[in-house]
Structure 1
Amino acid sequence: MTADFADLLVIFDLDGTLVDTAPDLLGALNHVLAEEGLPPVALDEVRHMMGHGAAALLAHGHLAAGRTWHAQDQSHCVERLIGHYRENIAVESGLFPGAAAVLYELERRGARFAICTNKPTHLARLLLTELGIAARFAAIVGSDLGQPRKPDPRHLLHTIESVAHHAGPTVMIGDSLNDVEAARGCGIPCIAMRFGYLDRPVEELGADAIVESYDRLIDAIVELLGDMNVSGATMGIA
């Protein structure tokens, strides 16, 4: 027996959870560093920082090269990084292994899904459009100037409210403390992905469940929401 997810809303974080964006973010970072006459950084140096924003990545690149990160340089460098990233947003980025099958299975069982990300909304929507999946999300809510962002639960609440006619159970899928704290503030469960852009051991995030890969995600959702008429499921992904 497979579970009926007709009333379920699954909200995904984007970078490090649904899409592996690190290669293109690194490319944009190293492009700007090269323009500044600085050496490139390796992915393993900054992978854990991919969810911390462009300024944090640039600060690391400058400081790693022994150059002072002057405040007056920050805005210009960030704009250049974002501009390069926008033009190359899906060159190497792609869904994490197994994610496409999970999206298909959630849809097949009647669930809807949304994106709640600290990435600017226009970049999140552009990325998902380039990957050919933007239309499959009931809402894509990123960070916008002057608006709350995770871990502020109002960001996640706004995402939920943006999904028309949703009144059933909701679960958050993420890879950071921001995701867990936002979910906790909204009173919904959160599943953490062990493979994400973690800046600490995943066990320290306080998530309701941890999964190693997308192959285990639907089972984890069923286990968390089993008392909400979402029970008795097997993975069932072709």
Structure 2
Amino acid sequence: MELDNFIWDFDGTLFDTYHDILKSLLQTFSEYNLTFKKDELYRLIKKQSVGFATEYVGKVYGLSGSAILARYHEIERVNQQDPLPYPGTVAVLKQVQASGKQNFLYTHRDKHVFDYLAQHGLKDVFTGAVTASDDFPRKPDPSALEHIIKTYQLDLDKTVMIGDRALDVNAGKNANIHTIYFDVDQFHDDAGADMVVSDLNQIQNVFV
């Protein structure tokens, strides 16, 4: 498999943000006098999403899921000050660029993601990006990926979507590109990805 174009998810793939995501969600629920087991909530947001969790809780408890989600975003923006890249993130992104290949970003996080990348000297290693601020349908809808592919005239056979959740893999499949599942939590929820890795350096060793 020869790959030239690497489309990366951010949260849980390039950067270890889920500690503060989970902390913020628990804090949000506590404001509504709701308590949940930390490990069960973590699995839910990794298998689904924070938005799914807030909407589900809203329906069960007769609350506004959108209001809960909005409050979560306020809290998470305060808590998530300086997330750290996973081991291998910096090396593989820079090696892709140095090899004349291209990195792209596709994240449900808003444009503040560029601040996190800049803090670690990674903002300029990406050729292009789609964030929540671009208002595309959420994964696994392929619209955002198709936008990247069309805008940068990418060869489908040489393009891969890399993420830590099944919805990342399914988005890639729906866009007819290759997929790599980063099994950082050993959840084994790879959705039939073309490749499964537990360390980002494995991507560097195999493809770059």
Q: Which residue of 1 aligns with 2:122?
A: 133
Any gaps of 5 or more consecutive residues in structure 1?
223-238
The residue identity in structure 2 corresponding to 1:87 is: V
Matched residues in 2 for 1:197 and 1:139: separation?
30
Aligned Cα root-mean-square deviation (Å): 3.0
Q: 1:180 aligns with which of 166, 169, 173?
A: 169
Matched residues in 2 for 1:150 and 1:55: separation?
12
Q: Which residue of 1 aligns with 2:179?
A: 190
Scaled by the length of structure 1, what TM-score is found?
A: 0.72
Q: Which residue of 2 aligns with 1:214?
A: 200
Shift of 1:196: 4.9
Shift of 1:12: 0.7
Structure 2 counterpart SS, 1:202: coil
Q: Which residue of 2 aligns with 1:15?
A: 11
Q: 1:121 aligns with which of 106, 110, 119?
A: 110
The residue identity in structure 1 corresponding to 2:130 is: V
Cα deviation digits, residues 199-233 of structure 1 (max 9, x gap):
xx335x111111121121123336xxxxxxxxxxx
Q: Which residue of 2 aligns with 1:24?
A: 20
The residue identity in structure 2 corresponding to 1:210 is: V
Structure 2 counterpart SS, 1:173: strand
Q: Which residue of 1 aligns with 2:76?
A: 85
The aligned runs of 1:71-110 (5 Å cut-off) are: 71=63, 73-91=64-82, 93-110=83-100
Q: Which residue of 1 aligns with 2:49?
A: 53
Any gaps of 5 or more consecutive residues in structure 2?
none
Matched residues in 2 for 1:211 and 1:150: separation?
21
Matched residues in 1 for 2:130 and 2:168: separation?
14
Contact 2:55 2:66 in 1 (8 A): no
Bigger share in helix: 2
Cα deviation digits, residues 4-53 of structure 1 (max 9, x gap):
x9x821111112211121111012112222322344642x2223333533
The residue identity in structure 2 corresponding to 1:202 is: D
Matched residues in 2 for 1:147 and 1:98: separation?
29
Matched residues in 2 for 1:197 and 1:18: separation?
16
Contact 1:15 1:21 in 2 (8 A): yes
Matched residues in 2 for 1:185 and 1:32: separation?
33
The residue identity in structure 2 corresponding to 1:10 is: F
Contact 2:5 2:101 in 1 (8 A): yes
Structure 2 counterpart SS, 1:172: strand
Q: Which residue of 1 aligns with 2:102?
A: 112
Matched residues in 1 for 2:134 and 2:127: separation?
22
The residue identity in structure 2 corresponding to 1:187 is: N
Structure 2 counterpart SS, 1:110: coil
Cα deviation digits, residues 153-178 of structure 1 (max 9, x gap):
22211123344x65582122122222
Matched residues in 1 for 2:137 and 2:28: separation?
28
The residue identity in structure 2 corresponding to 1:46 is: L
Q: Which residue of 1 aligns with 2:189?
A: 202
Aligned residues: 205
**1:132–1:50 distance in 2 versus 1, CA, 3 Å:** farther
Shift of 1:141: 0.7
**1:125–1:160 distance in 2 versus 1, CA, 3 Å:** farther
Scaled by the length of structure 2, what TM-score is found?
A: 0.81
Matched residues in 2 for 1:31 and 1:130: separation?
26
Q: Once the two structures are aligned, what percentage of the paired residues are identical?
A: 27
Matched residues in 2 for 1:176 and 1:11: separation?
14
